[in-house]
Amino acid sequence: MEKSVSEAISYRRSVRIYKEEPLDTELVKKCIQNAVLAPTSSNLQLWEFYHVVDPGVQEKIAKASFNQPAARTANQLVVVVARKDLWKSRKKANIQFLKQSFGDKPSREYSSKEKFALSYYQRLIPSLYTEFLGILGWLRYIFFSITGWFRPVYRQVRASDMRVVAHKSAGLAAQNFMISMAAIGYDTCPMEGNDTLRIKRALGLPYGAEINMVIACGVRETSGVYGPRFRIPFEEVYRRI
């Protein structure tokens, strides 16, 4: 029986040591399918998920993760990859989806709302993601900073800002995945301590791909949970305005 959302969140821990117990690959895949339902900036879905079940590739990734126990003892691995470099193809996919949802009619018959949605992907997205040696991003930043003196504006317009946007969306998807795994009694550990270049080579990723995190997957050993959960008192992080 699957756990409720609250039960899954409470159950989830970063597990560092796993039993030699196989996972159902199809169930893990279904959890990744839940991951792609996460919210994502502009619905661009600038992510990929590499479900690693090949022992040879797992060994390479474990070594690139400094052979930390979570990576070394994991039954499977999931590598979450941010793909800001795919914004053009994901933009086109959104435009195609919108046109299909509008129905078979000439563009002149589109409503103002439909025209706005298309313009968002045809004009605004390229204006934010198009880059040339970082120069265009800084020009956008200066322009919007000056405009911001007079009215509210979107200020995260540099190339580095758009990288952050892609990684935030990938992180949201990763959390969806880990909660889904917890719901069916599987365990995970998100790992940032790794040589991302070596992991990209192990997966055959292109230059523009960026490792968001490596997630170890398995069934926990009791010793794999390093002590009770600690969180800063809620009153110190909660502000009601």
pLDDT in tens, 119-130: 999 999 998 998
Residue 144: Cβ within 10 Å count: 15
Residue type, 123: R
Identity of the residue numbered 2: E
Q: Hey, how many other C-beta atoms are within 10 angstroms of the C-beta on 59?
A: 14
Residue 237 lies in a domain: no
How many domains is the chain built from?
Answer: 1
C-alpha separations of 104 from 97, 101, 122, 143 in Å: 12, 9, 19, 39
Amino acid present at 106: P
Radius of gyration of the chain, Cα coordinates, nearest whole angstrom: 21
Query: Does residue 234 lie within any of the structural domains?
Result: no
Q: Are 76 and 24 in contact (CB under 8 A)?
A: no
In the chain, the percentage of residues whose pLDDT exceeds 90 is 84
Place of tokens 């911001």: 148
CATH code at 169?
3.40.109.10
18: Cα separation from own chain's centroid: 24
pTM of the model: 0.94
Is residue 233 situated within a structural domain? no
Whether 213 maps to a domain, the answer reads yes
Residues in contact with 150: Cβ distance below 8 Å, sequence separation at least 6, in sequence order: none
8-state DSSP, 194:
S
- 29, 158 Cβ separation under 8 angstroms: no
**Sequence-ordered list of residues with C-beta below 8 angstroms from that of 13, at least 6 positions apart, any chain:** 187, 220, 225, 229
Answer whether residue 238 is part of any domain: no
pLDDT band at 3 (very low <50, low <70, confident <90, very high): very high
Residue 95 lies in a domain: yes
pLDDT at 140: 87
| Residue 65: predicted pLDDT | 97
Residue 78 inside a domain? The answer is yes
Q: Which amino acid is at 167?
A: H
Q: For residue 240, is it within any domain?
A: no
Range of the domain at 202: 1-225
